[in-house]
Amino acid sequence: MKKSATIPVSEVENAMRRLWEVCASVRQPRPILEVRGGTIETLQMMRSIRSIRDRVSDLSDSGWRIIIDLALAARENRRVQFSSACAASGLPPTTGQRLLTYMVERGLVIRSNDPRDGRRIFVELSDEAEAMLEKFLDRAAAFADDR
């Protein structure tokens, strides 16, 4: 089984910091444009970031939740059980299982049995998924830098 490399923490933190800085620097709109504690500009920024994500991959929000959960686990050197990754999707259990199985078949997630307990299955990001996540972070950071 191929062990995937992890994305350097500093790169993820820098990209996210730049995104938050851009969000924080958005000018404050007139009160009529306020939307439940946020602003139209912030919503537009979120839509733009989501659009970047969607151009990187056709995964659903739930699939990206799994990708992010597994990336965080890798950063923390923590193993994730198949059932926990399904729960991270935010979907009902059987739907989460189908999605995660699809991600395994597509080569985004690596599935491995626990050598000490045959009932337990672990999952981790593949190199392809890490490359996809890096591509998204690079594009999102470039978007933030251009703002």
pTM, full prediction? 0.67
Q: 39-90, pLDDT tens digit by residue?
A: 666 767 777 777 777 777 778 888 988 998 999 999 999 999 999 999 998 9
Ordered by start, the domain boundaries in the chain are: 9-146
E strand map for 1-147? 34-35, 38-39, 80-81, 109-114, 117-125
Give the pLDDT score at 16. 73
**What are the counts of helices (DSSP H) followed by strands (DSSP E) for the chain?**
6, 5
Which is more confidently placed, 79 or 33?
79
Q: For residue 80, which of 35, 103, 39, 114 has the smallest C-alpha distance?
A: 114
Asked if residue 124 has pLDDT above 80, the reply is: yes
Give the pLDDT score at 19. 72
Flag the least confident range among 24-33, 76-85, 124-133.
Answer: 24-33
Pick among 3.40.50.300, 1.10.3720.10, 1.10.10.10, 3.40.50.720: CATH of 9-146 = 1.10.10.10
Contact 147, 22 (CB under 8 A): yes
Give the pLDDT score at 52. 77
Give the pLDDT score at 27. 56
